[in-house]
Amino acid sequence: MIKVAVLTGTRAEFGLLYWTIKAIETDPGLQLQLIVTGSHLSPEYGFTVKEIESSGIPIAERIDMLLSSDSEQGIAKSMGVLMISLAQSFERLRPDILLLLGDRYEVLAAASAAVAMNIPIAHLCGGESTEGAIDEQIRHAVTKLSHVHFTQTERYRQRIIKMGEEKWRVHNAGILGSESIMRLPLLSREELENQLEIKLDGPTFVVTYHPVTLEKASLEEQMDNVLIALGRFKADIIFTYPNADSGGRLIINKIKEFQASHSNVHIYFSLGQLKYLSLLKYTDVMIGNSSSGILEAPFFNLPVVNIGSRQEGRLRSPNIIDVSYKAEDIAYGIEKATSDDFRESLKNREETFGDGQCSSRIIKGLKEALSKENLMKKRLSFDEQGSMYL
């Protein structure tokens, strides 16, 4: 029995991991060891571990790591708490491989602990780029610490190979969000309205704004401009909480203040995967700087107003309208996104975003990697001329 430890620290990450976790849980040759940490265990961010519990997936370890401060120092200390706790968890669980997704600081802490304890690492969603956040550095660092990789596109796969990773280690699994969109029976409009306790009978905006960690000094001004722009439109505005990053509390306080003076504003800690994807189906525009706008909104032909630099470097679909942090530019982007001409331009496009088979490719790749005698012995990959693929 192969023991596969999977770490999840945020609601969005768990949503992307869900089908892979289920595939591990139901595979007779694999044993799931789910480690839950980060904002999942924070009441301030919705205590989203409840969503994991309600799914019936067993939790092997719960690690409370978040300190009361969301400062840069607090984040760094939280990483230290997580590393110490994971060393103890790994000693108890003795996993054969650790599965990590993405580029958050929890992932870097987990990868560092696993390397020290000689545990092979499988990494999902490497090779991507988000130039406006420290996630960029973390993602590439975790790539070099990992032993097998699952990317979302062939271009991202090639990037990892050019970083010197051996080709046999790098697999294109496809867009992870496609699996939930294709396999989940999304809610009807009426069902969604009942669960959200609001009516979706007029223009509806979904807004998610995360801290831009490399531009923290201007975060308050950024958020003020977002709210100024939103205040110019008559629409139901649905906010979801930001990530538990440095500066997250400032954003939360700002949107709460905005809600206090606007009856059309609704705030949710976490919608959960089913409600969130169903909302994307029925909403009119997504606004903010979430990767969901880049990766999931295109499946619904949903116009996205992407603000600022946080998602710079990612591949884009025609549904994305990139704007600056200026309130005038954000408002212009929303006007364009809601125009009949722009919405019509997104129809009847022949694009392939994924086939919903990511989890089966990941399970196959994990088993193949663990059968390799040289899995733990990483080497730089060179081309025929003796140069590293860079």
Check which CATH number belongs to the domain holding 201 and give it: 3.40.50.2000
Q: Is residue 317 one of the residues assigned to a domain?
A: yes
Q: Is residue 376 one of the residues assigned to a domain?
A: no
Same structural domain for residues 263 and 317? yes
Same structural domain for residues 168 and 201? no
Instruction: Please report the pLDDT score of residue 390 as a whole number.
Output: 47
Residue 124 sits at the vertex; the CA angle it makes with 209 and 119, to the nearest 5 degrees, is: 125
Q: Is residue 122 one of the residues assigned to a domain?
A: yes
Instruction: Please report the pLDDT score of residue 217 as a whole number.
Output: 85
**Structure pTM?**
0.85
| Bigger pLDDT: 113 vs 317 | 113
Query: Could you give the CA distance from residue 224 to residue 364 in angstroms, rounded to a whole number?
Result: 47
**By the 8 A CB rule, do 70 and 247 touch?**
yes
Same structural domain for residues 12 and 42? yes
Same structural domain for residues 141 and 242? no
Range of the domain at 195: 186-345
Q: Is residue 382 one of the residues assigned to a domain?
A: no
Query: Could you give the CA distance from residue 107 to residue 104 in angstroms, rounded to a whole number?
Result: 5
Three-class DSSP category at 316: coil
Same structural domain for residues 28 and 76? yes
Provide the domain count of the chain: 2
Comparing 7-16, 39-48, 94-103, 341-350, the range with the smallest average pLDDT is 341-350
Same structural domain for residues 198 and 281? yes
Q: What's the average model confidence in pLDDT over 259-284?
A: 93
**How far from 51 is each of 14, 157, 163, 284, CA to CA, in Å?**
10, 32, 37, 26
| Bigger pLDDT: 390 vs 195 | 195
Does residue 83 have a pLDDT over 80? yes
Same structural domain for residues 95 and 41? yes
pLDDT one-digit tens code per residue, 236-245: 999 999 988 8
| Bigger pLDDT: 213 vs 326 | 326
23-35 per-residue burial string, b: 16 or more CB within 10 A, e: under 16: bbbebeebbbbbb
Mean pLDDT of the chain: 92
Q: Is residue 383 one of the residues assigned to a domain?
A: no
Residues, the chain: 390
Between the ranges 142-156, 173-187, 338-352, where is the mean pLDDT highest?
A: 142-156
Instruction: Please report the pLDDT score of residue 364 as a whole number.
Output: 97
Q: Is residue 386 one of the residues assigned to a domain?
A: no
Side-chain-side CA neighbours of residue 70 (13 Å): 19
Same structural domain for residues 170 and 30? yes
Q: Is residue 233 one of the residues assigned to a domain?
A: yes
Same structural domain for residues 234 and 268? yes
Q: Is residue 378 one of the residues assigned to a domain?
A: no
Same structural domain for residues 194 and 221? yes
**By the 8 A CB rule, do 311 and 149 touch?**
no
Helix axes 327-337, 219-230, angle to 10 degrees: 40
